[in-house]
Structure 1
Amino acid sequence: MKICKACTFLSILIILLYSCALPPEDEKESLEPDSSTSELPWTGETEKFTINTKEGVHLNDPQEDAGTAYVTIPSSSVRSTRWEFGVRLTFNPSANNYARFYLASSSEILSGDLNGYYIQIGGTKDNVALYRQNGNQSKLLASGRELMKGNNSPKLFIKVECDANGYWTFWTRMESETEYTKEKQIKDTSITKSICCGIYCVYTKSRCDGFTFHHIQLSDDVITSTEPDDIPDVPDEPDKPDTPESPEYPDNVRNMLLFNEVMYDNAKDGAEYIEFYNPADQDITVKSLRLFKMRATGEIFSTTILKQEDENTNLVIPGKGYICFTHSATTLIRKHKVDGKSITEISKFPQLSNDGGYLALATDEEHPRTIDTCRFIDWMHDTSVTTGISLEKISPELPSLNKNWHSSRNDTGGTPGIKNS
């Protein structure tokens, strides 16, 4: 009896030890070697990625800050080509955290202007979509199902084919699935040349290591087996979220936007305005901001919400670009001879005192965080006449200190929404 009990105990112990020695299923999957991806001749911002047989191509920005990153490999293939790759994210994608796999590109700098095609993973919808890019403009060609909706760590595989006639087809499958699902098919023959394909990531500070691409395969001279759909030639409508999505603020918002120009004592045929500058290379997308008028003590006595009139439209400030707020965009366009693309009209724009004052820009949150502050007053001008002349930054990227301002040199008295004079 004692021998039987001892054998039983030993058997249980062996089973437990064996079970503990086995890695979790996810860990086993992450350890699968991927020598084909790591051996590809990657170039670009390689210092922002870890590339090895264990992970494939893993974003690992050493700056640990918000930004963009890209790497490319040579590729001249467009027609009769198949692209296959896996993607793993450690978060649910959003308008500020998404990835692109460029199937074809005319430039090795994926963050700039180029002509090409790309697959976007995430964005305003939790799906996979095919785009064509011409210069800095992107056109949605085909939008897939929202297979990542509600998934905080999506893991999927994507396959794309372009046949000899220019029919593009793409499929997706989650790692837990065994069969691909055909998403969409579209004909587009606009771009026929390429020099590379590659990976492009857009991320906030908290997601600077949350992207992994693996098992990347590129096959040319492919004879596709798919038959064209009945009506494959009509591009999908641009993606719109089912409900308006509030983009995330970065973890560190200080100086993500800077005061750049203030018109507080406008001419009779002009209007007051406040302009901000985005010092970063990447665009900033936010739902809204708060503008505070303050006393010298820092006490806030007026709050204005800065947002688009259309509740479904976000504020977008292009990298190295501007956004200008006013109560009358038409007046600024006429007075200062600008196109108005960077001007946003605020119906309740606050009146600025001709005697000067203090301003602060902050996040529109339950507990607002300060982005930038500035002062405006006549003695900051360097001209005797101040009415109808804006105060503008001497160096837009430097802090908004009193000594970094002077009078606008523009003939119209200001430069709302464009580069300072």
Structure 2
Amino acid sequence: MNKYTFIKRCIYLIVLIPSLCAAQVADDFSDGNFTHSPVWTGDTHHFMVNNYFQLQLNDDESGEASMFTDLPLLDEMEWRVWIRLAFSPSGNNHARFYLSALPDDTTDMPDGLFIQLGEAGSDDAIRLMIQDAGDTSTLIRGTAAAIASSFKCRVKVLLKNDSCHLFVDYTGGFDFQPEGSCTWYQEPDTRYLGVFCKYTSSNSKKFYFDDFYAGPELYDTIQPEVKRYDVVINEIMADPSPPQQLPEHEYLELYNTTTVNLNLDQWVLMIGGSEKLLTGAKIDPEGYLILGKDDHAAEFTAYGSFYGLESFSLTNAGQEILLIDHKGEMISGIYYRDEWYDDDEKADGGWSLEQINPYNPCLGHNNWTASMNNKGGSPGTKNAVFEDYYLAPEIVRACAIDSVRIRI
């Protein structure tokens, strides 16, 4: 087993281990074939397992090709697949991922429930569709134009409580975002799971599939280890009156300095002596999260991701703010003061305090100043005062503790 295969198999197993014993279909092609465990049938001569252990279309001419494998259905279940189309999909170049196909040896496009990837026009969206007696209809339509050009994505469909829920990560990772829901019920039965490709000769080797799963619902349990300053307090609107162009409400902004999604569930925001529990909060890679009073959500969501709290109040003159993770570790903390504005007029209200460089958070006043955004602040976006520079700490005071130790 080469290094790539080993790493790929380990990642796949980490995700699947919670439900592996009861899994119905799971194939990442790390065994280098599609002839057993599970067995795929159909136009197998038009497919191959490539050097990256992905299922790849491998034809030389235009045409249609499909492959299927047996799938026992459950009352409630989950499907997942990774898909890459290395071209702009269209009516003549598109793919289907069949969640549940009826047996039919007469066509490559049998009746059943499937994900459609590609369509005529320029608004290509991922769609959950049903085909019955050859007639198709859309049950869920995802984000318009999200797959209008070459793309890779990971799709998840969850069937639960007689409803289908579509989730997609458009980077190909595991940060699934909801795309829609619909009512759906299926009788437990044996159907087929599979793929279908329609292609011109120029795209006859540009369809890729991987990490198939169909079975009981999976529960992702692996969370990144969060370190201090992975999330930082990045902007403070303590005195929103008189407003410039922003809502006349107090807010804080957090910034994720990492390149991964972070789960802030059960984290605590300490504002002075007040504890605020963050339940179900998340923050995107290198993304922003605005915190404020729940009643003001409608006004702030236009600026970006917002998390509302039942009560929220900041002191104009300044106070300590701490962000503490679910383990009780401090991730970010500051004690802001009104002198940090460095501008008497802006200190009177309507302007936020912004961090100059979120990657250099230990400098206190030296790394904060009044916003230069003519709206009065920059919630949900890069701070208007951002500069990519680093200041070395200065020694302000030092004293001798004894003959061999100094306190700085």
* TM-score of the superposed pair, with normalisation by structure 2: 0.47
